[in-house]
Amino acid sequence: MAVIRLSGPEAIAITLRMAHVDRFEPRRATLTTLKAGDEELDQVLITCFPAPHSLTGEDVVEISCHGSPAIVRRIIDATLESGATLAGPGEFTLRALSNGKINLAQAEAIRDLIAAQTDAAVKQAARQLNGELSKTLDPFKERLVHVIVLLESALEFVEDDLPAPQMNQVEEILGSVIAGVDRLSQSYSAGRLLQDGARIAITGRPNVGKSSLFNGLVRSERAIVTDVPGTTRDTLSESIDLGGVPVVLTDTAGLRETSDNVESLGIERTHRAMGDADLVLLVLDGSNQLEPEDDELLKQTADTRRLVVMNKSDLPSFQPMARCVEDVEAINVSARTGDGFPALHSAILARLNSAGAENGSLLVTNARHYDLLCSAKRELELAHACFRDRHSEELVLAPLHNALKFLGQITGETTTEDILSEIFATFCIGK
């Protein structure tokens, strides 16, 4: 099934003409047959949302039709002939934005939602769409404005009989704002993995079972994209949903077997795959003695985020952790039987630091938001230090205003007029 959406003042009229009916009940699905001239296009469900109670704030019509690309194409062509125009990328969002249906953070969440690949990411984008990032940020912003009001009043209305700002009160509020902004920005690393997906590279010397492990992981999970761009005969990549986290799994197997210049090329490619990865799965053959090459790989990956997988636990000669480097923790699996896979999942997720993904706490998934939060935090800390050193208010205020501007880029700007209004509402000013 596919949904075609029309938005704008003509949306309803166009659809009425194509459906040959007089009116649609608002927000009720109507079963009808769409026609282009005499030709029947498809039997469809039509739901109409008159302005302003719609996604974009304009009249919106949703046509649910059968999913065949040919049918979808024909219906779209028919609407175009009736006067509709194709939406540009993000145009619906832009219209919703400009009609005040959503704020900037929500608009970005919509974009994330469209790009979201897994359930957890969808849930997360939906949360931001509901304005939760703004909602979570707002109390911190309010507290920040309060501090600014206290300090501005102190230096702007020196002749008025104002209570002096309480040092410890200001410090406490500032501290709580910093902690709050910090907590939100911390959620970004998990949030980014949710949105963009984690890249996992499987590596190991030949014949340790890399491909079996790769296939085992792909088989046991839901593959969400079948033909991944960039897949070559050399590298095998597959996108899977691993416990809610989109994962791009790359197998470096086959490299050495098919390459002529086995040694150098193989090592170089493995290096590159490992360098791009958020996590490296280093596969060892647990049924055999470790070879010098294994030791070399262990040494090479020691400084990266990696997980050592001891494969072939189904073989009698398997020795868990046998002759492994002392402080290396390994997961025992059998790629052939699937034994040990649940433990491998948990271990991978734990390594990806995605604990927040499933428990539903608010995450920042957008790089721009993360950047703004970090900048805000930096300014807040500078102001905090200035304040503790008893610098004059205007020096403390300079970074505070900067911080407010950064946060304002996420939730909307606070103007001088807003701050002045707050001052006059808080204090009795004026001789």
Partner 1 sequence: MYWEVVMSFDERFDVIVIGAGHAGCEAASAAARLGAETGLITLNLDLVGQMSCNPAIGGIAKGHLVREIDALGGIMGRVIDRTGIQFRLLNRSRGPAVQSPRAQADRLRYRAEMRRTLEATSNLHLRQGKVVDFVLHNGKLVGVELEDGRRFGAGAVVVATGTFLNGLIHTGRRTYRGGRAGEPAAVELSEALKRLGFPVGRLKTGTPPRLDGRTIDWDAFEPQPGDEVPVPFSFSTDHIVQKQIQCHIGYTTPEVHEAIRENLAESPLYSGTIKGVGPRYCPSIEDKVVKFSDKSRHQLFLEPEGHDTNEVYLNGFSTSLPAELQQELIRMIPGLDETRIIRPGYAIEYDFVDPRELGPDLQTSRMPGLFHAGQINGTTGYEEAACQGLVAGINAALYTQDRQSIRLRREESYIGVLIEDLIKQGVDEPYRIFTSRAEYRLALRYDNADERLQRYGRDLGLVGDSDWDRFYSRQTRLAILRTELDETRFRRSDAQHAAVSALLGADLGDVISLAQLAKRPRVPANLIMSLLPADLKPVSEADLNSVLADSLYEGYLQSQKATIARLYQHDTLKIPRDMFFGGISGLSHEVVERLDRARPETFGEARRLPGLTPAALSTLLVFLSLQQKAV
Can you give the binding site for partner 1, defined by CB under 8 A? 94-95, 97-100, 102-104, 107, 152, 155-161, 375, 379, 389-395, 398-399, 402, 405-406, 409, 412-413, 415-417, 419-421, 424, 428-431
Q: Smallest gap, in angstroms, from Cβ of residue 312 to partner 1?
A: 54
Query: 134 vs 250, which CB is nearer to partner 1?
Result: 134
- Minimum CB–partner distance for residue 140 and partner 1 (Å): 18
The backbone torsions φ and ψ at residue 60, rounded to the nearest 5 degrees and listed phi first, read: -130, 140
What is the rounded CA–CA span in Å between residue 431 and residue 427? 12
Cβ proximity to partner 1, 309 vs 396, nearer residue = 396
- 288 vs 402, beta carbon nearer partner 1: 402
Identity of the residue, 11 or 248, whose beta carbon is nearer to partner 1 in the bound complex = 11
Q: Which is nearer to partner 1, 276 or 413 (CB)?
A: 413
How near is the Cβ of 398 to partner 1 at its closest, in Å?
A: 5
> Min. distance of Cβ 298 from partner 1 in angstroms?
44
Strand partners, 26: 48
Min. distance of Cβ 132 from partner 1 in angstroms? 17
Sign of CA dihedral 61, 65, 71, 73: positive
323-327-329 Cα angle (round to 5): 80
Which sign does the torsion angle of CA 264, 270, 273, 276 carry? negative
For 352, residues 6+ apart whose C-beta sits below 8 A from its C-beta are 190, 193, 198, 245, 278, 279
Which residues contact residue 305 at a Cβ distance below 8 angstroms, ignoring those fewer than 6 apart? 277, 278, 279, 280, 351
Are 145 and 414 a contacting pair, CB within 8 Å?
A: yes
Least distance from C-beta 282 to partner 1, angstroms? 41
**What sign does the dihedral 53-55-61-66 (CA atoms) show?**
negative
272 contact partners, CB below 8 Å, separation of at least 6: none
* Shortest Cβ 30–partner 1 spacing (Å): 28
If the CB atoms of residues 45 and 382 are measured against partner 1, the closer one turns out to be 382
| Distance separating alpha carbons of residues 36 and 167, to the nearest angstrom | 73
Nearest Cα to Cα of residue 311 among 277, 336, 279: 336
State the Cα–Cα distance between residues 308 and 82, nearest whole angstrom: 61
Between 148 and 277, whose beta carbon lies closer to partner 1?
148
Q: Please, what is the minimum distance in Å from the beta carbon of residue 371 to partner 1?
A: 10
